[in-house]
Amino acid sequence: MKNKKNIIYTAIAIVVYLLLFALVETGTASRQMQNLIVPVLVNIILAVSLNLIVGFLGELTLGHAGFMSVGAYAGCMFTVSCNLPVYIELPVAFVIGGLTAAVFGFIIGIPALRLKGDYLAIVTLGFGEIIRSILNSMDIVGGSGGLKGIEKSGNYTVAYVLMIITLIVISNVIHSCHGRSIKAIRDNVIAAESVGVNVVYYKMFAFVLSAFFAGVAGVLYGQNLGILKPATFDFNKSIEILVMVVLGGMGNIKGSIIAAVILTVLPELLRDLADYRMLFYALALIIMMLFSSNPTLVEFRQRIFSRSKREVN
Amino acid sequence: MDFIQQFINGLSLGSIYALIALGYTMVYGIAKMLNFAHGDVIMVGAYVLSIAAMQAGLSPVMSILFPVIVCMAACTILGVTIEKIAYKPLRNASPLAVLITAIGVSYFLQSVALLIFGSNQRKVNSVIPKFSLSLGDIHLSGEAITTLVVTVIIMICLALFINFTKVGKAMRAVSEDKGAAQLMGISVNSTISLTFAIGSFLAAIASILFVSSYGFVGPYSGAMPGIKAFVAAVLGGIGSIPGAMLGGIILGIIESMAKAYISTELADAIVFSVLIIVLLVKPTGFLGRKTITKV
Amino acid sequence: MALVDIRQLGISFGGLRAVDNFNLTMDDGQLYGLIGPNGAGKTTIFNLLTGVYKPTDGEFYFDGELMNGKTPIQINKKGIARTFQNIRLFSNMSVIDNVKTGLQAKYHYSMLDGILRLPKFGRMEREMTDRAMELLKIFDLDGEAEQLASNLPYGKQRKLEIARALATDPKLLLLDEPAAGMNPNETAELMNTISLIREKFKVSILLIEHDMSLVMGICEKIVVLLYGRVIANGIPDEIKNDPKVIVAYLGE
């Protein structure tokens, strides 16, 4: 049965890629749509990696854009300053970006081990702001003007491969004993310790892994756009990723993917309503939480859900 | 001389943080939640104040009093409404769900303000009478003096209220143990609502003082001061009223010193670095209490 | 040598002396009862033995090794597992995953095995599943293996906690009111299960319980706690007739 599932997933992955290939290479998709493909894939990587912390570890971090920016700058600085063939340069840049973000994930993981809930949210928010201020005042990376002249080598194929790698790694981790430990910590720390789960190690691991992929996504973002500006990686970016995770369902990888696609494509299609985007995010967060955590509303939702299910049968 | 001037600037900035932090600390202490939208209530208050101040044909006294009262009423009602609609249904939900909701509410207020007023900053006239004090080179504006005095008075009133009135005792009981408080006949829900009302009332005062000092308000004006005030509350020890005061003042001084002597650009980074360091060294903050986890 | 050797263990919370001068020795395979009125400090002793609280004084030797200062994780690795008075399951995980979490230390594979799905991953997961199902069967939970733990009825949640604790392969099992909230039938059934696991797993058990019939029925020895101090220690018949115990439970 496991094998059957794997075959289906592989088939989906190939079909989706062929679809993208056809849309781009035949020119069926508009320029606007083509330009959206990589941002969608970047956001999927970001949302899925954040879900590892928010959905599976059960901690809230508001600094995902910070990890993304650290990785982006490290990786893109490398490609800007090196002149290697692209097939060497690009993979190395992703690794550099990912590892740099992972190091920061480790550093931020240290307070995360001692703090939880609201404190951790504020510390990670602060971390994102610190990174942004520092990047803003660092002339070597272009300051607030941004890092320019990055080669636009991050095309949709590269992005697609990276997304698939991210999905495989994170999903395999979650469905292994390591993922079980992470979920056990989320559900009950004291019980997890009582059966020998190394809470410190797994919390740290979740932070580092999540930051790594955020960093990779950052490099991809930079290599696609050709420019990096500190202002892009502000608190709002972190919230945007959080909205994707919450809307897709915390602890649900497929949900994160769908939400990332919708929340990237929709605002582009509805440009006239751009002002309402934040309002939509806000309502999405509030309504999702009320419907997933308020006992009366949960019951209401389940009633409706089970009714529609019955009708299908 | 410059140093002393910066110190005084920090003191006045810090007392605004302290005032906002008092609201955070009260709500956190009793409802055990970080009301992310607290800063945005301040922003809404500032808009209300600016609109109410346009009311023509009032006597000089009323032209100050009217906007102030309207602002206080609006913030208090807003705070209680937020609590009723968004937080109360999640009373027994996981802290993560409550926190995400609070972020949602904060975003909601910002986006509504953006839709109504646009992203441009709006000028607000100070409701504090013009006066100033000068001692040699050191200059103290009327706003700074008023802010400091008001904050100290409010802190004292709040401490007296919490410690000596029946309602204040009920609040402390709820913060210690909701279940036990309920068994003693305290209505937990109305106590929490009252806490939000007081917290939002404090936000209104902060809003008046804040906007009088800065003169402008925009949809995002409340967010950063709000977050920094929470940082102040955490530094001082969350749940502690003198802690919020102390944390706010320290933060204000750090920020204005950093701006003056290091870099304006990095001032926020320094503020947050201080928070991270303090939390690593003393997670309960300066005046916070240690709690024992029950198993 | 005794498996458990507790010497003058004590802890204070501020001015409150929660446990004072607690002594206990347990042999391999022994079933000891720990009883006392509410607030006597029974759960606190469990928390001291499992490293959740650090004792202010005294020593705790387990299998000849000093356990003071060890973390809950280290203590679990040494062979002590527990259940909780207020059930602490991994409620958003399946029943079988709850047990598997306890098995992980023994059936270990590396991160790389997991991410790349190397052969060792499949082998270990299979063995873990088999072992987990065996454990669930003992507690009659094998039919609910794929359910969410939070969807189990109360009595089964208690049993699942014991199964999860046993999964870590302990030498000493600490059960904190396993029969709380169960009806007499369920309690009787639980008594049988406890006797069974004790023989099958060769595990020593320290049991906190309010249900006197259960304690008197299966425990070999009983220690009685009052206000953090031991007031009696002996076989069930001695305890039943001990005047101090009678006063503690029934008043003068």
pLDDT digits (tens, 9 = 90+) for A93-149: 999 999 999 999 999 888 777 777 788 888 899 999 999 999 998 888 888 889 998
Report the chain C residue with the minimal C-alpha distance to residue A168: C115
Q: Which two tokens stand for residue B261?
A: 């002597």
Residue B287 maps to a domain: no
CB A46 within 8 A of CB A221: no
Residue C53 pLDDT exceeds 70: yes
State pLDDT tens for residues B12-64: 899 999 999 999 999 988 888 889 999 999 999 999 999 998 887 788 888 88
State pLDDT tens for residues A258-270: 999 999 998 888 7
C-alpha distance from C44 to closest chain B C-alpha (Å): 9
Residue B290 pLDDT exceeds 70: no
Name the average pLDDT for chain A.
Answer: 90
Cβ contacts of residue A169 below 8 Å, gap of 6+?
A209, A213, C115
The C-alpha atoms of residue B77 and residue C186 are separated, in whole angstroms, by 53
Q: Which amino acid is at C135?
A: L
CB A190 within 8 A of CB A121: no
Reported confidence tier of residue A311, pLDDT bands at 50, 70, 90 = very low
Residue A308 pLDDT exceeds 60: no
Q: How many CB atoms lie within 10 A of CB B185?
A: 7
Reported confidence tier of residue A165, pLDDT bands at 50, 70, 90 = very high
Cβ contacts of residue A174 below 8 Å, gap of 6+?
A52, A56, A182, A183, A253
The C-alpha atoms of residue A13 and residue A26 are separated, in whole angstroms, by 20
pLDDT value of position A310: 43
Reported confidence tier of residue B294, pLDDT bands at 50, 70, 90 = low
Cβ-based contacts of A281 with chain B (< 8 Å): 104, 107, 111
Please tell me which residue, B275 or C168, carries the higher pLDDT value.
C168
Q: Which of A206-215, B232-241, C190-199, C226-235 has the highest mean pLDDT?
A: A206-215
Chain B contact for A37, CB < 8 A? no
Residue A276 pLDDT exceeds 90: no
Cβ-based contacts of C71 with chain A (< 8 Å): 193
Residue found under tokens 């409404």: B81
- Specify the range with the lowest mean pLDDT, choosing from A155-164, A293-302, B256-265, C101-110: A293-302
Q: What is the CATH number of the domain that holds B121?
A: 1.10.3470
Q: Which two tokens stand for residue A47?
A: 């949302």
Q: For the purposes of burial, counting CB atoms within 10 Å of the CB of A103, is it exposed (0-12), middle (13-18) or buried (19 or more)? A: middle
pLDDT value of position B239: 82
Side-chain-side CA neighbours of residue A44 (13 Å): 25
pLDDT value of position A309: 44
DSSP C9: E
DSSP C104: T
pLDDT value of position B88: 92
Q: Which two tokens stand for residue C244?
A: 């101090």
pLDDT value of position B1: 63
The C-alpha atoms of residue A223 and residue A215 are separated, in whole angstroms, by 12
Residue B286 maps to a domain: no
* Cα→Cα distances A189→A59, B27, B34, C151, Å: 12, 26, 22, 20
> Which domain, by its residues, includes B170?
2-281
Chain B contact for A295, CB < 8 A? yes
Residue found under tokens 């000596």: B164
CB A219 within 8 A of CB A76: yes
CB B273 within 8 A of CB A107: no
Cβ-based contacts of A176 with chain C (< 8 Å): 109, 113-115, 121, 125
Residue C186 pLDDT exceeds 90: no
Mean pLDDT of A213-238: 95
Reported confidence tier of residue A307, pLDDT bands at 50, 70, 90 = low
Angle at B168 between CA B163 and CA B170, to 5 degrees: 120
Query: What does chain C come to in residues?
Result: 252
pLDDT value of position A36: 92
pLDDT value of position A312: 40
CB contact under 8 A, A172 and C117: yes
Chain B contact for A239, CB < 8 A? yes
pLDDT value of position A25: 86
Reported confidence tier of residue A256, pLDDT bands at 50, 70, 90 = very high
Chain B contact for C249, CB < 8 A? no
CB contact under 8 A, B295 and C13: no
Chain B contact for A292, CB < 8 A? yes
State pLDDT tens for residues A40-96: 999 999 999 999 999 999 999 999 999 999 999 999 999 999 888 989 999 999 999
Cβ-based contacts of B44 with chain A (< 8 Å): none
CB contact under 8 A, B97 and A289: yes
pLDDT value of position B246: 93
The pTM of this model reads 0.91
Nearest alpha-carbon partner for C34 in C159, C220, C247, C248: C220
Residue C168 pLDDT exceeds 90: yes
Q: For the purposes of burial, counting CB atoms within 10 Å of the CB of B167, is it exposed (0-12), middle (13-18) or buried (19 or more)? A: middle
* Cα→Cα distances A225→A42, A284, B281, Å: 12, 28, 41
Side-chain-side CA neighbours of residue A302 (13 Å): 8
Cβ contacts of residue B46 below 8 Å, gap of 6+?
B71, B124, B207, B210, B211, B217, B221, B222
- Specify the range with the lowest mean pLDDT, choosing from A220-224, B250-254, C213-217: C213-217
pLDDT value of position C252: 60
Cβ contacts of residue A179 below 8 Å, gap of 6+?
A56, A173, C114
Domain range summary for chain C, segments of one domain joined by +: 4-79+170-250, 90-153
Could you say which of A122, A134, A281 has the minimum Cβ distance to residue B269? Answer: A134
Q: Is A226 left (phi over 0), alpha (psi -120 to 50) or beta?
A: left
The C-alpha atoms of residue A66 and residue A125 are separated, in whole angstroms, by 9
**Chain C interface, mutation test: which of A2, A175, A177, most C Cβ atoms within 10 Å?**
A177
pLDDT value of position C181: 83
pLDDT value of position B198: 94
Name the average pLDDT for chain B.
Answer: 89
**Chain C interface, mutation test: which of A2, A171, A181, A195, most C Cβ atoms within 10 Å?**
A195
Residue A301 pLDDT exceeds 80: no
Report the chain C residue with the minimal C-alpha distance to residue B290: C14
Name the average pLDDT for chain C.
Answer: 92
Q: Which chains touch B (3 or more CB pairs under 8 A)?
A: A, C
Nearest alpha-carbon partner for C136 in C98, C170, C178: C98
Chain B contact for C52, CB < 8 A? yes
Query: What does chain A come to in residues?
Result: 313
How many domains are there within chain B? 1
State pLDDT tens for residues A242-254: 999 999 999 999 9
Beta strands in chain C (DSSP E): 4-13, 16-26, 31-35, 57-62, 65-66, 80-82, 172-176, 204-208, 221-226, 229-234
CB A209 within 8 A of CB A134: no
Please tell me which residue, B138 or B91, carries the higher pLDDT value.
B91
Residue B185 pLDDT exceeds 80: yes
CB contact under 8 A, A54 and B269: no
The C-alpha atoms of residue B238 and residue B228 are separated, in whole angstroms, by 13
The C-alpha atoms of residue B83 and residue B61 are separated, in whole angstroms, by 33
Total CB pairs under 8 A between chain A and B: 133
Q: Which two tokens stand for residue A53?
A: 């912390």
Report which secondary-structure segment, H or E, holds A29: none
Mean pLDDT of B115-139: 83
Q: Which chains touch A (3 or more CB pairs under 8 A)?
A: B, C
Residue B176 maps to a domain: yes
Nearest alpha-carbon partner for A122 in C102, B279, C142, C176: B279
Residue B229 pLDDT exceeds 70: yes
What is C4-79+170-250's CATH number? 3.40.50.300
Q: Would you list the DSSP string of chain B? A: -HHHHHHHHHHHHHHHHHHHHHHHHHHHHHH-S--TTHHHHHHHHHHHHHHHTT--S--HHHHHHHHHHHHHHHHHHHHHHHIIIIIGGGTTS-HHHHHHHHHHHHHHHHHHHHHHH-SS-EE----SPP-EEEETTEEEEHHHHHHHHHHHHHHHHHHHHHHHSHHHHHHHHHHH-HHHHHHTT--HHHHHHHHHHHHHHHHHHHHHHHHHHH-EE-TTTTHHHHHHHHHHHHHH-TT-HHHHHHHHHHHHHHHHHHHHHT-TTTHHHHHHHHHHHHHHH-TT-SSPPP-PPP-
Q: List the beta bridge partners of residue C62.
A: C4, C65
Q: Which two tokens stand for residue C110?
A: 């590396």
The C-alpha atoms of residue A16 and residue A68 are separated, in whole angstroms, by 26
Could you say which of C13, C43, C84 has the minimum Cβ distance to residue B292? Answer: C13
Report the chain C residue with the minimal C-alpha distance to residue A195: C102
